[in-house]
Structure 1
Amino acid sequence: MLRRARAVCSIATRLHRVEQTKAWCLPAASGFKPPAWARGYRKGNPQDSSQPTEMDEAKPETKEEEAFRLLRGSNTVHRYESKSADLGLVDYFASGWRQLTRQMATATISKADASFDEEDFLDSATDAFVTVNELVGEGKLDALRPLLSDRLHAAISTVHKEYETNELSMSIDVEGIDSAVVEHARLLALEEGESQMRETEGDATEISIKLPDIIWMTGDSMGHPSRYDPNASAGWLVVGVRFKSTERSKIYNKDGMVVADTTDGRGHLWQFIRGPLPPTKQLPSADLQDIPWRVLNFGPPQGGGFVSI
């Protein structure tokens, strides 16, 4: 099945890649907030995101509108670079926790998919990472639809329309992927999924914030469902993948001039979702090949778990 998912990525995606978050020039993936350079000119060092600006204190919609005005009318290329952070002891201890959660993730996945091949899955996830980033950068929304959850697709479409309205375009280039590992996994009850969809409905910008937190936090410390019922439908299998990667994105004005140039080396966490699954009592199943994987969410890594805002 993952091979099929990869085929979909290869065909409907070799069109090109995506990834909307991090250094994307989309007002950012984990909530679609503009990156530092898109929040306005800084007093002193334009790249210093630690200094507040008038736009930082403005209403979100005002900041976004002003950012577009600045970019559209600017003759200066704004560059922003975000490198991976060296957290020393913090990262050392976090690595041990990640190893434990990865082991638990493997156990959780095996409860649903008896034929799960981690290497094959990560190959397909990497293809999807590159593909989605390219497609987002090229604005190919129709090609993105089968690869993303409906709400994530709606959120990206909204941002793309804002760029078009302001006569801006973008490109995204995945310059390198050093590694991809399964970070966490859980079975999401169908009832939980329905309530989450209702909770996020109506506000696309909340998708990347609420849904991952609900999925991650409603489980116990090992990431298992908090209300496990063997007679109920398992609903959905959610798997988080951590990519150690570098992306470069550019924003162009209507004349084709580069007005923003962003390099992001922080890597990213993506959540992939498959479902609906057969009832829990019928799991694990070795016959899930016809149930496709989609990208549920993505964002920059933060600590040892999925991005939490």
Structure 2
Amino acid sequence: MSEVGLALRAAATRLAAVSETPRLDAELLMAHALGVERAALLLDPSRYAVPEAFATLVERRLAHEPVAYIVGYRDFWTIRLAVGPGALIPRPDSETLIEAALDHFGARSPHHILDLGTGPGTLLLAALAEWPAATGLGIDASEAVLTLARANAEALGLAARAAFRVGDWMAGMAGSFDLILCNPPYIADGEALMPDVVRYEPASALFAGVDGLDDYRRIIPMLPDYLAPGGAAVLEIGSTQHMLVAELAEAAGFAVRYRRDLGGRDRALLLTRVG
């Protein structure tokens, strides 16, 4: 086995104490230390020597720092997003919202997209990459996070079609949107989380009151004023929140469909106008 292969094996053994994906973490950290893509590393690990920086990166991961913060990016849908402390790390489960939107629109394209709580631009930029004729607006409460979102839009060649604004959900906004995407905080205040999350990711993007529904109660009643005819709002939900959030949506006059993620968990609700 090559020097790099041995180092990866040893690192993965150690990282198993803090990660559910220790081998993947080790590979991503090694590729980052080498300044190459993971695919290039796996194709021929024997061509590389173990860089000195690798040990430091492994120690950071052993302290529960998320890999995305260490390497500075996370791949999501078809795009790569720069991320950093203060920005919620994009999760594969959130790709369920893009899948639901694609199913809803079919061969059509939404013209104007709104992403509430956009973070580093996650859902908005993924949607704009999917629909080249669309434009969009990302709202977030943090100007620092929106700096990341604007940089991501620029790096992806989407800056001309993506605007970002500080805001408190839809408060004080004007206009209507064919597609509204939202991954709000939905974790109950007392819920236990993995150290990677609770120590490093922003609490404001995670927790939403004693039952995790506070932000849904604010967002859903506002949606009818901003959703264009024939459009859809797609909300991410916790795996046990389907019925509770659906009741809020139905009370606001929406028809509700749900979609499960790749793990078979309820993950997104798609809301459309009744009639």
Shared fold by TM > 0.5? Answer: no
Higher relative contact order (CA 8 A, sep 6+): 1
TM-score (ref. length: structure 2): 0.24
